[in-house]
Amino acid sequence: MYLTAIAWIYVVLMMSVAEATSTTGTVLGAFMTFILYGVLPLLLVLYLLGTPARWRALKMRDKAGAALPVAKDAEVAIPTAASSPPDAGGHATGTEPAASVAPMRKEP
């Protein structure tokens, strides 16, 4: 599969060089030839030909994931005081305007 892709890119590259060096050709035309005749169709073909391999890999990953026990509680990280950076803002904790809450008054 890759040998055909390399050969196709070589053929399109030679087409682009011939167009760029032609007396009536332009470098922009050569660039467009390389992109439109070479790169885009080749990407599409390689993507379509690689689909079965991606499906097999997805099925294998699903089978491997189903064999493992599910432990969601073990994956949750609990933040600790050592993991958070110290407050170096130079102000008292909780006195920021966005974080301040008005105190509640007692009923008489």
Query: Burial, 68: exposed, middle or buried (Cβ in 10 Å; 0-12, 13-18, 19+)?
Result: exposed
- The ranges assigned to domains in the chain are 2-69
What is the reported pLDDT for 20?
Answer: 94
**Tens digits of per-residue pLDDT, 63-95?**
887 776 655 555 555 555 555 566 666 666 655
What is the reported pLDDT for 104?
Answer: 73
**Tens digits of per-residue pLDDT, 16-66?**
999 999 999 999 999 999 999 999 999 999 999 999 999 999 999 888 877
Full-model pTM: 0.52
What is the reported pLDDT for 9?
Answer: 95
- Cα–Cα distance list, 72 to 17, 61, 62, 76, 92 (Å): 58, 18, 17, 7, 37
